[in-house]
Amino acid sequence: MMINDEFEAKVKTDLDTQAQGLDADTRQQLAAARRTALNQLSKQSWRDSLLKSSWLTSYGLPASSLALCSLLAVFILVNPKPNTAPANVAINQTVQLNDQVAALELLDNVDDIDTATDPDFYLWADEILATEGKAHAA
């Protein structure tokens, strides 16, 4: 480390000789700038001091990161998925196909559209279904 000590000593002597060669106004401006910088350094905000040396950086940030990752993992793993069992898919496709066939049959026969949109037809169908098991049913 002798080389570093020699280098530091040389740089220090060079800076000292240059500083002695400055006029008084420049020295005063440099001193004022130094005081301003030191005052700003001492007036650090509470947030900066909190982040530099506290439990927040050693425990808080890692704990919050772990909590966020855990929460995301729970949402991904516990997210309810649609029931895609083959039987349920077949039932859903059959129901959709029946609905489509019924819609096409209504479009094919204009007279059935009048019947399907008539509320009296549904009242009549309810009466028939209600009296279905009786002796003199319609």
3-state SS string over 7-65? HHHHHHHHHHHHHHCCCHHHHHHHHHHHHHHHHHHHCCCHHHHHHHCCHHHHHHHHHHH
**pTM (2 decimals)?**
0.27
If 0-12 CB within 10 Å is exposed, 13-18 middle and 19+ buried, where does residue 125 land? Answer: exposed
Please tell me the distance from the alpha carbon of residue 121 to that of residue 72, in angstroms, as a whole number. 54
- 101 against 123, higher pLDDT: 123
Please state, rounded to an integer, the average pLDDT across all residues of the chain. 76
Which residues have C-beta within 8 Å of that of residue 47, sequence separation ≥ 6? none
Domain borders along the chain are 1-43, 45-80, 86-130
Query: How much is the average pLDDT of 68-94?
Result: 73
Contact at 8 Å (CB) between 127 and 138? yes
pLDDT of 87-121, one tens digit each?
A: 666 666 676 777 777 777 767 776 666 666 778 87
User: What is the per-residue pLDDT for 96?
Assistant: 72
